[in-house]
Structure 1
Amino acid sequence: MTVPRLFLCAMAACLLAACDSGGPLLSSSVRYEVAGVEEGDMLKLRAGPGTGYDIRAGLPNGTVLRVRDCTRIGGTRWCEVALERTPEMAGYVSQTYLRKL
């Protein structure tokens, strides 16, 4: 396992643990879950809508997100999201890997 992948796995584990803290929910958005990411990989939560932005965290399949808004940039539709129970952890993900709950 490479160092970046190990870092993303560790970040995801910390984020998932924080999701169980009972924090506030976003009320003005729709619930989705991460789906379709290949086994052993994670969806990258980015600082902005595109692959040129820094990766904030890796999100495994099943992670519940609140989608605030989506916009097409180039050939990809990017969604502004926040973790459902940790809304301060926010960023952008590709809509390709989101499934509405």
Structure 2
Amino acid sequence: MTSICSFFRIAIVCAIGLAAQSALAEADSFKVRFKPGAESARYTGSIQGYDDDTYIVDARRGQEMTVGLRTSNPQAYFNILPPGSDVAIYNGSIEGNRYTGVLPRSGKYRIVVYMMRAAARRDEVADYRLSVAIPAEEQDTPSGGFADGNAGGPDFWVVSGVSSNDRLNIRTGPSASAGIVGRVRNGSVMRNLGCERSNGSRWCRVSVRGESSLRGWVNGRFLQEY
């Protein structure tokens, strides 16, 4: 009887050890680091079964992040979880393995690479390459009279109040008669480069996120703090 009890005790200890190892395997995490002067980082890895890999990115609200995943297994995807939440703001299994978007808050974002449940049950393997990119912040210096993010104004604007069948004009100067260099929809996010009053209206100089070459002046009544 003693030998039987000893056998079961050993079996239980081994099972607990294996479970602990499995839990650790499922919780692998890596901090995303950009080399000096670089705007992107690339990682290679492999997951199997119910394992997942988590990449942690420190980012600020309003920054634009791009994430791409290439994998040997079509059942492998990634999700993006915002700071302080387990509710994904991006689900790769629904939206695909490439994401580009403006981040809604500052903090640590988690990019989780995982296998779909059916493939995980079959203990399939996925080798992958993950890329993460966050463009460097623009360093425009506003001229006198501007109310930019450094002078107490918001860092970013979002376009609001434009008719659904219309666009907001981006102009070469703070005037409705200035030339048009581009047009943006409701919901577009733009960096605030400063505002001033001109002919009784507030005009703001902006640059469009994701299109750094597209910048100019827009009528401030169609802007809300982002």
Answer whether TM exceeds 0.5 for this pair.
yes
Q: What are the ranges of 5 or more consecutive residues in structure 1 without an aligned counterpart?
A: 1-19
Q: Residue in 2 aligned with 1:11?
A: none
Q: Which residue of 1 aligns with 2:207?
A: 82
User: For 2:174, what is the secondary structure of its paired residue?
Assistant: coil
**What RMSD, in angstroms, separates the aligned Cα atoms of the two structures?**
1.9
Q: Percent identity?
A: 28
- Residues in 2 aligned to 1:74 and 1:22: alpha-carbon distance in whole angstroms: 38
C-alpha distance in structure 2 between counterparts of 1:62 and 1:69, whole Å:
19
- d(CA) in 1 for partners of 2:167 and 2:134? 24
Structure showing greater relative contact order (alpha-carbon pairs closer than 8 Å, 6 or more residues apart): 1
Q: Contact 1:25–1:84 (CA<8 Å) still a contact in 2?
A: no
Could you tell me the TM-score, scaled by structure 2's length? Answer: 0.34
Q: How far off is 1:39 after superposition?
A: 1.3
Q: 2:26 maps to which residue?
A: none
Query: 1:58 aligned to 2:170?
Result: no
Instruction: Supply the AA of the counterpart residue of 1:83.
Output: V
Q: TM-score, normalised by structure 1?
A: 0.72
Select the residue among 10, 20, 25 that pairs with 2:137: 25
Secondary structure of the residue that 2:221 maps to in structure 1? helix
How many residue pairs align between the two structures? Answer: 82
Name structure 2 gaps, 5 residues minimum.
Answer: 1-99, 101-132, 141-148, 150-154
Quick check: 1:66–1:83 contact (8 Å CA) kept in 2?
A: yes
Alpha-carbon separation, structure 1, partners of 2:160 and 2:191? 14
- Structure 1 CA distance, aligned partners of 2:168 and 2:159? 7
